[in-house]
Protein backbone atom coordinates (compact mmCIF):
# COMPACT_ATOMS: atom_id res chain seq x y z
CA UNK A 1 0.00 0.00 0.00
CA UNK A 2 1.41 3.38 -0.99
CA UNK A 3 0.76 6.15 1.50
CA UNK A 4 -0.60 9.39 0.06
CA UNK A 5 1.56 12.49 0.42
CA UNK A 6 0.24 14.92 3.04
CA UNK A 7 -1.15 18.32 2.13
CA UNK A 8 1.37 21.16 2.78
CA UNK A 9 1.71 22.38 6.37
CA UNK A 10 -0.03 25.64 5.76
CA UNK A 11 -1.21 25.86 9.31
CA UNK A 12 1.98 25.35 11.29
CA UNK A 13 1.46 23.36 14.44
CA UNK A 14 -2.03 24.63 15.16
CA UNK A 15 -4.44 21.84 16.03
CA UNK A 16 -7.61 22.31 14.07
CA UNK A 17 -10.86 20.39 14.45
CA UNK A 18 -12.99 19.11 11.61
CA UNK A 19 -16.42 17.54 11.81
CA UNK A 20 -17.42 14.97 9.20
CA UNK A 21 -21.20 14.65 9.08
CA UNK A 22 -21.96 11.35 7.32
CA UNK A 23 -25.20 10.14 5.79
CA UNK A 24 -26.03 7.04 3.77
CA UNK A 25 -25.86 8.47 0.27
CA UNK A 26 -28.22 8.61 -2.64
CA UNK A 27 -28.03 8.20 -6.41
CA UNK A 28 -26.75 11.20 -8.41
CA UNK A 29 -29.90 11.22 -10.56
CA UNK A 30 -33.15 9.24 -10.71
CA UNK A 31 -32.08 7.11 -13.67
CA UNK A 32 -31.50 3.34 -13.97
CA UNK A 33 -27.79 3.91 -14.78
CA UNK A 34 -27.20 6.09 -11.71
CA UNK A 35 -29.13 3.64 -9.56
CA UNK A 36 -27.10 0.74 -10.82
CA UNK A 37 -23.87 2.48 -9.73
CA UNK A 38 -25.33 3.45 -6.36
CA UNK A 39 -26.91 0.07 -5.60
CA UNK A 40 -23.78 -1.83 -6.73
CA UNK A 41 -21.68 0.08 -4.19
CA UNK A 42 -24.31 -0.03 -1.42
CA UNK A 43 -25.27 -3.68 -1.75
CA UNK A 44 -21.73 -5.00 -2.11
CA UNK A 45 -20.90 -3.66 1.36
CA UNK A 46 -20.43 -6.84 3.46
CA UNK A 47 -22.08 -5.12 6.45
CA UNK A 48 -25.24 -4.46 4.44
CA UNK A 49 -25.70 -7.93 2.98
CA UNK A 50 -24.13 -10.48 5.31
CA UNK A 51 -24.02 -13.36 2.86
CA UNK A 52 -20.63 -14.84 1.81
CA UNK A 53 -19.39 -12.82 -1.21
CA UNK A 54 -18.98 -15.90 -3.35
CA UNK A 55 -22.73 -16.58 -3.06
CA UNK A 56 -23.99 -12.99 -2.99
CA UNK A 57 -22.04 -11.27 -5.78
CA UNK A 58 -23.45 -13.47 -8.58
CA UNK A 59 -26.98 -12.78 -7.28
CA UNK A 60 -26.26 -9.05 -6.93
CA UNK A 61 -24.79 -8.68 -10.43
CA UNK A 62 -27.33 -11.14 -11.86
CA UNK A 63 -30.91 -10.68 -10.67
CA UNK A 64 -30.70 -7.66 -8.35
CA UNK A 65 -28.84 -5.23 -10.60
CA UNK A 66 -30.92 -6.22 -13.63
CA UNK A 67 -34.33 -5.55 -12.13
CA UNK A 68 -33.97 -3.14 -9.22
CA UNK A 69 -32.29 -0.06 -10.80
CA UNK A 70 -35.21 0.70 -13.11
CA UNK A 71 -37.82 0.07 -10.41
CA UNK A 72 -35.99 2.17 -7.85
CA UNK A 73 -35.28 4.95 -10.38
CA UNK A 74 -39.02 5.29 -11.00
CA UNK A 75 -39.59 5.63 -7.25
CA UNK A 76 -36.83 8.21 -6.87
CA UNK A 77 -38.33 10.19 -9.76
CA UNK A 78 -41.49 10.75 -7.67
CA UNK A 79 -39.56 12.46 -4.85
CA UNK A 80 -36.73 14.20 -6.75
CA UNK A 81 -36.56 17.99 -6.31
CA UNK A 82 -35.05 20.69 -8.56
CA UNK A 83 -32.08 20.79 -6.13
CA UNK A 84 -31.59 17.03 -6.25
CA UNK A 85 -32.30 14.06 -4.00
CA UNK A 86 -34.05 15.11 -0.74
CA UNK A 87 -31.54 13.15 1.35
CA UNK A 88 -28.63 15.11 -0.16
CA UNK A 89 -30.44 18.44 0.07
CA UNK A 90 -31.30 18.00 3.76
CA UNK A 91 -27.84 16.65 4.65
CA UNK A 92 -26.24 19.73 3.09
CA UNK A 93 -28.56 22.03 5.02
CA UNK A 94 -27.85 20.16 8.24
CA UNK A 95 -24.10 20.65 7.67
CA UNK A 96 -24.55 24.39 7.08
CA UNK A 97 -26.81 24.62 10.15
CA UNK A 98 -24.39 22.66 12.33
CA UNK A 99 -21.49 24.83 11.21
CA UNK A 100 -23.41 28.01 12.10
CA UNK A 101 -24.63 26.62 15.43
CA UNK A 102 -21.10 25.61 16.47
CA UNK A 103 -19.74 28.97 15.39
CA UNK A 104 -22.44 30.75 17.41
CA UNK A 105 -21.25 28.74 20.44
CA UNK A 106 -17.70 29.99 19.91
CA UNK A 107 -16.15 26.97 18.16
CA UNK A 108 -13.96 27.36 15.10
CA UNK A 109 -14.40 24.04 13.37
CA UNK A 110 -14.75 22.95 9.76
CA UNK A 111 -17.90 20.97 8.99
CA UNK A 112 -18.06 18.76 5.89
CA UNK A 113 -20.80 16.46 4.74
CA UNK A 114 -19.98 13.04 3.29
CA UNK A 115 -21.96 10.10 1.97
CA UNK A 116 -21.12 6.48 2.74
CA UNK A 117 -22.13 5.48 -0.82
CA UNK A 118 -21.81 7.76 -3.81
CA UNK A 119 -20.60 11.34 -3.65
CA UNK A 120 -19.21 13.28 -1.85
CA UNK A 121 -17.46 10.20 -0.50
CA UNK A 122 -16.03 9.80 3.00
CA UNK A 123 -12.53 9.78 1.48
CA UNK A 124 -13.17 13.06 -0.33
CA UNK A 125 -14.55 14.64 2.85
CA UNK A 126 -11.52 13.57 4.87
CA UNK A 127 -9.11 14.78 2.13
CA UNK A 128 -10.85 18.15 2.21
CA UNK A 129 -10.68 18.42 6.00
CA UNK A 130 -6.96 17.53 5.96
CA UNK A 131 -6.33 20.09 3.22
CA UNK A 132 -8.05 22.65 5.44
CA UNK A 133 -5.60 21.79 8.20
CA UNK A 134 -7.71 19.51 10.39
CA UNK A 135 -5.57 17.42 12.73
CA UNK A 136 -8.55 16.23 14.78
CA UNK A 137 -11.70 14.85 13.21
CA UNK A 138 -15.05 14.06 14.78
CA UNK A 139 -17.01 11.57 12.69
CA UNK A 140 -20.72 12.20 13.25
CA UNK A 141 -23.05 9.79 11.40
CA UNK A 142 -26.58 11.03 10.80
CA UNK A 143 -27.94 7.84 12.39
CA UNK A 144 -29.25 8.27 15.94
CA UNK A 145 -29.51 4.48 16.43
CA UNK A 146 -26.38 2.34 16.01
CA UNK A 147 -26.55 -0.45 13.42
CA UNK A 148 -23.62 -2.40 12.06
CA UNK A 149 -25.00 -1.86 8.52
CA UNK A 150 -24.96 1.94 8.85
CA UNK A 151 -22.83 3.34 11.70
CA UNK A 152 -20.40 0.41 11.56
CA UNK A 153 -19.97 0.86 7.86
CA UNK A 154 -19.14 4.58 8.20
CA UNK A 155 -16.31 3.56 10.49
CA UNK A 156 -15.08 1.05 7.84
CA UNK A 157 -14.88 3.84 5.26
CA UNK A 158 -12.89 6.04 7.65
CA UNK A 159 -10.52 3.15 8.45
CA UNK A 160 -10.04 2.45 4.75
CA UNK A 161 -9.06 6.08 4.12
CA UNK A 162 -6.79 5.97 7.18
CA UNK A 163 -4.93 2.95 5.84
CA UNK A 164 -3.54 5.20 3.09
CA UNK A 165 -2.80 8.24 5.25
CA UNK A 166 0.68 9.10 6.51
CA UNK A 167 -0.24 11.64 9.17
CA UNK A 168 -3.46 10.42 10.76
CA UNK A 169 -5.75 12.93 12.30
CA UNK A 170 -6.88 12.12 15.84
CA UNK A 171 -10.31 10.57 15.30
CA UNK A 172 -13.37 10.42 17.48
CA UNK A 173 -16.53 8.60 16.43
CA UNK A 174 -20.06 9.27 17.57
CA UNK A 175 -21.65 5.82 17.73
CA UNK A 176 -25.22 6.76 18.60
CA UNK A 177 -27.47 9.33 20.23
CA UNK A 178 -30.81 7.47 20.26
CA UNK A 179 -31.61 8.65 23.80
CA UNK A 180 -30.14 12.16 23.59
CA UNK A 181 -32.45 14.68 25.28
CA UNK A 182 -32.08 17.26 22.54
CA UNK A 183 -32.91 14.71 19.82
CA UNK A 184 -35.97 13.40 21.74
CA UNK A 185 -37.15 16.95 22.45
CA UNK A 186 -36.79 17.89 18.77
CA UNK A 187 -38.86 14.83 17.76
CA UNK A 188 -41.54 15.69 20.35
CA UNK A 189 -41.62 19.28 19.13
CA UNK A 190 -42.07 18.06 15.54
CA UNK A 191 -45.06 15.92 16.58
CA UNK A 192 -46.67 18.69 18.64
CA UNK A 193 -46.15 21.16 15.79
CA UNK A 194 -48.04 18.76 13.50
CA UNK A 195 -50.83 18.24 16.01
CA UNK A 196 -51.28 21.99 16.48
CA UNK A 197 -51.87 22.33 12.73
CA UNK A 198 -53.74 19.11 11.91
CA UNK A 199 -55.16 17.81 15.17
CA UNK A 200 -54.24 14.53 16.84
CA UNK A 201 -54.82 11.03 15.43
CA UNK A 202 -56.01 7.96 17.30
CA UNK A 203 -52.59 6.35 17.13
CA UNK A 204 -49.02 7.49 16.56
CA UNK A 205 -47.12 4.92 14.49
CA UNK A 206 -43.33 5.17 14.67
CA UNK A 207 -41.70 3.43 11.72
CA UNK A 208 -37.96 2.66 11.77
CA UNK A 209 -35.86 1.21 8.94
CA UNK A 210 -35.59 -2.55 9.39
CA UNK A 211 -32.55 -4.83 9.48
CA UNK A 212 -32.39 -8.64 9.29
CA UNK A 213 -33.76 -10.24 12.49
CA UNK A 214 -30.59 -12.30 12.72
CA UNK A 215 -28.56 -9.18 13.56
CA UNK A 216 -30.61 -8.73 16.77
CA UNK A 217 -29.79 -12.29 17.83
CA UNK A 218 -26.11 -11.71 17.00
CA UNK A 219 -25.90 -8.66 19.26
CA UNK A 220 -26.62 -5.58 17.16
CA UNK A 221 -28.13 -2.96 19.52
CA UNK A 222 -30.25 -1.35 16.77
CA UNK A 223 -33.62 -2.93 17.62
CA UNK A 224 -33.38 -2.04 21.31
CA UNK A 225 -32.21 1.51 20.57
CA UNK A 226 -35.20 2.07 18.24
CA UNK A 227 -37.54 0.91 20.99
CA UNK A 228 -35.86 3.12 23.56
CA UNK A 229 -36.13 6.16 21.28
CA UNK A 230 -39.84 5.35 20.84
CA UNK A 231 -40.40 4.99 24.59
CA UNK A 232 -38.62 8.25 25.41
CA UNK A 233 -40.60 10.07 22.73
CA UNK A 234 -43.86 8.59 24.00
CA UNK A 235 -43.01 9.65 27.57
CA UNK A 236 -42.07 13.14 26.40
CA UNK A 237 -45.43 13.39 24.60
CA UNK A 238 -47.18 12.00 27.73
CA UNK A 239 -49.00 9.36 25.70
CA UNK A 240 -50.20 6.05 27.20
CA UNK A 241 -48.50 2.92 25.83
CA UNK A 242 -51.49 1.79 23.75
CA UNK A 243 -51.46 5.01 21.71
CA UNK A 244 -48.02 4.37 20.18
CA UNK A 245 -47.09 1.56 17.75
CA UNK A 246 -43.49 0.76 16.74
CA UNK A 247 -42.89 -0.90 13.35
CA UNK A 248 -40.05 -1.60 10.93
CA UNK A 249 -40.05 -0.83 7.20
CA UNK A 250 -38.01 -1.31 3.99
CA UNK A 251 -37.54 -5.07 4.18
CA UNK A 252 -34.98 -6.24 1.59
CA UNK A 253 -34.80 -9.88 0.44
CA UNK A 254 -36.68 -12.92 1.74
CA UNK A 255 -35.14 -13.37 5.19
CA UNK A 256 -37.06 -12.47 8.34
CA UNK A 257 -36.46 -8.81 9.28
CA UNK A 258 -37.33 -6.95 12.48
CA UNK A 259 -41.06 -7.14 13.12
CA UNK A 260 -43.78 -5.96 13.08
CA UNK A 261 -43.53 -4.73 9.48
CA UNK A 262 -44.90 -1.24 8.84
CA UNK A 263 -47.24 -1.74 5.91
CA UNK A 264 -48.96 -4.96 7.08
CA UNK A 265 -49.46 -3.32 10.50
CA UNK A 266 -51.13 -0.29 8.91
CA UNK A 267 -53.42 -2.58 6.89
CA UNK A 268 -54.34 -4.57 10.00
CA UNK A 269 -55.03 -1.46 12.09
CA UNK A 270 -57.26 -0.04 9.34
CA UNK A 271 -59.11 -3.36 9.03
CA UNK A 272 -59.61 -3.36 12.82
CA UNK A 273 -61.34 0.00 12.59
CA UNK A 274 -58.58 2.59 13.05
CA UNK A 275 -59.68 5.66 11.10
CA UNK A 276 -56.86 8.15 11.56
CA UNK A 277 -53.18 7.45 12.06
CA UNK A 278 -50.20 9.78 12.49
CA UNK A 279 -46.97 8.33 11.11
CA UNK A 280 -43.43 9.42 11.86
CA UNK A 281 -39.99 7.95 11.09
CA UNK A 282 -37.76 8.99 14.03
CA UNK A 283 -34.72 7.00 12.86
CA UNK A 284 -34.43 9.01 9.66
CA UNK A 285 -33.25 12.52 10.43
CA UNK A 286 -33.64 13.59 6.78
CA UNK A 287 -36.62 12.93 4.56
CA UNK A 288 -35.61 10.52 1.81
CA UNK A 289 -36.94 7.81 -0.49
CA UNK A 290 -37.83 5.58 2.46
CA UNK A 291 -40.01 8.22 4.13
CA UNK A 292 -41.39 10.26 1.21
CA UNK A 293 -42.14 7.39 -1.15
CA UNK A 294 -42.34 4.18 0.90
CA UNK A 295 -44.26 5.76 3.81
CA UNK A 296 -45.97 8.87 2.52
CA UNK A 297 -46.96 7.30 -0.82
CA UNK A 298 -47.06 3.47 -0.58
CA UNK A 299 -47.97 3.00 3.10
CA UNK A 300 -50.53 5.81 2.87
CA UNK A 301 -52.25 4.07 -0.06
CA UNK A 302 -52.21 0.74 1.78
CA UNK A 303 -53.82 2.27 4.89
CA UNK A 304 -56.50 4.08 2.89
CA UNK A 305 -57.21 1.03 0.72
CA UNK A 306 -57.78 -1.06 3.85
CA UNK A 307 -60.46 1.20 5.30
CA UNK A 308 -58.42 3.95 6.95
CA UNK A 309 -59.71 7.48 6.39
CA UNK A 310 -56.88 9.79 7.29
CA UNK A 311 -53.12 9.23 7.14
CA UNK A 312 -51.02 12.08 8.54
CA UNK A 313 -47.33 11.93 7.72
CA UNK A 314 -45.12 13.86 10.14
CA UNK A 315 -41.95 15.08 8.47
CA UNK A 316 -38.42 14.18 9.56
CA UNK A 317 -36.33 16.60 11.62
CA UNK A 318 -34.59 17.92 8.47
CA UNK A 319 -33.35 21.46 9.27
CA UNK A 320 -35.65 22.13 12.22
CA UNK A 321 -33.73 24.54 14.55
CA UNK A 322 -34.23 22.38 17.69
CA UNK A 323 -32.65 19.44 15.86
CA UNK A 324 -29.68 21.45 14.60
CA UNK A 325 -29.06 22.65 18.17
CA UNK A 326 -29.31 19.02 19.38
CA UNK A 327 -26.76 17.98 16.77
CA UNK A 328 -24.44 20.79 17.89
CA UNK A 329 -24.75 19.60 21.50
CA UNK A 330 -23.93 16.02 20.49
CA UNK A 331 -20.87 17.29 18.58
CA UNK A 332 -19.82 19.54 21.48
CA UNK A 333 -20.03 16.66 23.95
CA UNK A 334 -17.74 14.53 21.78
CA UNK A 335 -15.24 17.34 21.18
CA UNK A 336 -14.72 17.83 24.94
CA UNK A 337 -11.08 18.53 25.70
CA UNK A 338 -10.22 19.50 22.13
CA UNK A 339 -9.13 23.05 21.43
CA UNK A 340 -11.76 24.32 19.03
CA UNK A 341 -10.53 27.93 19.19
CA UNK A 342 -7.49 27.60 16.91
CA UNK A 343 -7.34 30.58 14.60
CA UNK A 344 -5.57 30.49 11.32
CA UNK A 345 -2.74 32.80 12.32
CA UNK A 346 -1.21 34.50 9.23
CA UNK A 347 2.23 34.16 10.86
CA UNK A 348 1.73 30.41 10.75
CA UNK A 349 0.23 30.32 7.30
CA UNK A 350 3.41 28.85 5.90
CA UNK A 351 5.29 25.68 6.76
CA UNK A 352 6.79 25.70 10.22
CA UNK A 353 10.39 26.78 10.83
CA UNK A 354 11.33 23.27 11.93
CA UNK A 355 9.96 21.67 8.82
CA UNK A 356 11.56 24.28 6.59
CA UNK A 357 14.91 23.60 8.25
CA UNK A 358 14.47 19.88 7.85
CA UNK A 359 13.72 20.27 4.17
CA UNK A 360 16.57 22.75 3.67
CA UNK A 361 14.19 25.47 2.52
CA UNK A 362 14.38 29.11 3.49
CA UNK A 363 11.44 31.00 4.98
C1 LIG B 1 -31.77 4.62 9.02
C2 LIG B 1 -30.98 3.60 8.94
C3 LIG B 1 -30.86 2.60 7.88
C4 LIG B 1 -30.60 1.25 8.09
C5 LIG B 1 -30.40 0.56 9.41
C6 LIG B 1 -30.56 0.63 6.79
C7 LIG B 1 -30.32 -0.72 6.56
C8 LIG B 1 -30.42 -1.36 5.33
N9 LIG B 1 -30.83 -0.83 4.11
C10 LIG B 1 -30.82 -1.78 3.13
C11 LIG B 1 -31.17 -1.63 1.76
C12 LIG B 1 -31.57 -0.42 1.15
N13 LIG B 1 -31.81 0.78 1.77
C14 LIG B 1 -32.10 1.75 0.85
C15 LIG B 1 -32.35 3.08 1.08
C16 LIG B 1 -32.13 3.75 2.30
N17 LIG B 1 -31.77 3.18 3.51
C18 LIG B 1 -31.63 4.16 4.46
C19 LIG B 1 -31.28 4.01 5.81
C20 LIG B 1 -30.99 2.80 6.43
N21 LIG B 1 -30.77 1.59 5.83
C22 LIG B 1 -31.93 5.42 3.82
C23 LIG B 1 -31.85 6.76 4.49
C24 LIG B 1 -32.26 5.15 2.48
C25 LIG B 1 -32.74 6.16 1.44
C26 LIG B 1 -31.67 6.71 0.55
C27 LIG B 1 -32.18 7.81 -0.36
O28 LIG B 1 -31.49 8.03 -1.35
O29 LIG B 1 -33.20 8.47 -0.16
C30 LIG B 1 -32.03 1.15 -0.47
C31 LIG B 1 -32.11 1.90 -1.81
C32 LIG B 1 -33.41 2.20 -2.35
C33 LIG B 1 -34.06 1.01 -2.97
O34 LIG B 1 -33.62 0.56 -4.05
O35 LIG B 1 -34.97 0.49 -2.32
C36 LIG B 1 -31.73 -0.20 -0.28
C37 LIG B 1 -31.55 -1.25 -1.35
C38 LIG B 1 -30.34 -2.98 3.74
C39 LIG B 1 -30.14 -4.29 3.01
C40 LIG B 1 -30.12 -2.71 5.11
C41 LIG B 1 -29.63 -3.55 6.23
C42 LIG B 1 -29.03 -4.68 6.22
FE1 LIG C 1 -31.67 1.11 3.87
FE1 LIG D 1 -37.63 1.19 0.55
Question: Domain-by-domain residue ranges, the chain?
Answer: 16-177+321-347, 181-314
64 lines ligand 1 (CB under 6 A): no
| Mean of pLDDT values over 116-144 | 96
Ligand number nearest CA of 85 is 1
68 lines ligand 1 (CB under 6 A): yes
The 8 Å CB, 24+ separation contacts for 262-268 are 262/205, 262/207, 262/295, 262/299, 263/298, 263/299, 263/302, 265/205, 266/205, 266/299, 266/302, 266/303, 266/306, 266/308, 267/302, 267/303, 267/306, 268/306
Q: Give the pLDDT confidence of 319-353 residue by residue, as tens digits.
A: 999 999 999 999 999 999 998 987 655 555 445 66
Identify the CATH assignment for 181-314 out of 3.40.50.1400, 1.10.3720.10, 3.40.50.740, 3.30.450.40: 3.40.50.1400
The CATH class of the 16-177+321-347 domain is alpha beta
CA–CA dist 259, 244 (Å, integer): 15
pTM, two decimal places: 0.95
Are the folds of 16-177+321-347 and 181-314 the same? yes
State CA 113 to chain mean position distance. Answer: 11
Ligand 1: which of 24, 51, 69, 88 to mutate, judged by most atoms within 8 Å of the beta carbon? 24
Q: Give the pLDDT confidence of 33-74 residue by residue, as tens digits.
A: 999 999 999 999 999 999 999 999 999 999 999 999 999 999
Taking CA atoms only, the protein residue closest to ligand 1 atom 28 is 26
| Mean of pLDDT values over 270-294 | 98
Rounded distance from Cα 294 to ligand 3 centre (Å): 6
Band of residue 363 on the pLDDT scale cut at 50, 70, 90 = very low
Q: Which residues participate in the annotated binding site for Fe(2+)?
A: 209, 290
Ligand number nearest CA of 147 is 1
Ligand number nearest CA of 144 is 1
Amino acid sequence: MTLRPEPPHRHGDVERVGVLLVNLGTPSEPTPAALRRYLAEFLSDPRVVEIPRILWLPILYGIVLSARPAKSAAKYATIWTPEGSPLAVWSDRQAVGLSQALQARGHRVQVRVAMRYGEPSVARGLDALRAEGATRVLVLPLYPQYASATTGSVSDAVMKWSAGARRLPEFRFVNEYHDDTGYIDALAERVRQHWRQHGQGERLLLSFHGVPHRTLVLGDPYHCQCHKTARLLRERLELPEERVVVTFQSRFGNAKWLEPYTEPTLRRLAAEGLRRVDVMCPGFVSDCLETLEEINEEAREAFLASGGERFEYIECLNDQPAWIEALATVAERHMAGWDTQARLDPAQASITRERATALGATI
